[in-house]
Amino acid sequence: MPWPKGRLRGPQTSKHRAKIGAAKKEFHRENPAAAKGWCNTPKAKANMRAARLKFYREQPNAAKEWQSTPEAKANQSSAMKKFYRDHPGFQYEIQNRPEVKARASFRTMGDKNPNWQSGLTKNPYPVEFNAEFRERVRERYDYTCAACKRRQEQLKRKLDVHHIDYNKDNLDPDNFVPLCVSCHGATKGKKNRTYWTTVFQNIVSMNKCEELR
């Protein structure tokens, strides 16, 4: 006759379950390898997952509180780093998915962007700021980037023309410098404006002194 595997036993009491739990803990302390092997079985993983879900359903704020602790953040960071080390192309693949790009774009759109200027970038340029005007600025600086000194023929496109004071309506010739794409990109953002304004004003002053010689 096969062993009934506890089917003849009545329902376990809380005292009985506590004894079984204590015995299991003592066994796993004395046999750590056995505990680790059991924890990796599909049945054990399913049991632990079910227990976690039940716990978080009964205490909905516990998950958020735990995730905010330094220990949880460190564990998550180390797990993500290990995962991306083992799957080097996975992060690049995720970042290039259309839905991921759309979410990232939405999070930094409009007034959610740290460089938001209350919509000033949508204001049109004056009519006088045309191709001929920009070409004169490039010619004045001998078709050379005012920051990195690379010449236009070394680049794949024409030099950009940058407003030193970031004011689109200021058409003073001394308010413009030609920049390559890389240097022009470095001037973006609220934090950099004071620094780059001072730098380019000094460059304009030096250029005017050379013109007077």
Reduced to 3 states (helix: H, G, I; strand: E, B; else coil), residue 151 is strand
pLDDT of residue 10: 56
Single out the residue of 180, 136, 174 nearest to residue 155, CA to CA. Answer: 180
Q: How far apart are CA 68 and CA 124, in angstroms?
A: 45
pLDDT of residue 148: 92
pLDDT of residue 1: 47
From first to last of the 213 residues of the chain, give the pLDDT tens digit.
Answer: 455 555 545 566 778 888 888 888 888 778 777 766 777 788 888 888 888 888 888 887 877 787 788 888 898 899 888 888 888 777 778 778 888 888 888 777 777 776 666 666 667 888 899 999 999 999 999 999 999 999 999 998 999 999 999 888 899 999 999 999 999 988 887 778 889 999 999 999 888 877 766
State how far the alpha carbon of 187 is from the alpha carbons of 169, 196, 197, 211, in Å.
18, 6, 9, 26
- Give CA angle at 140 (125, 198), nearest 5°: 70
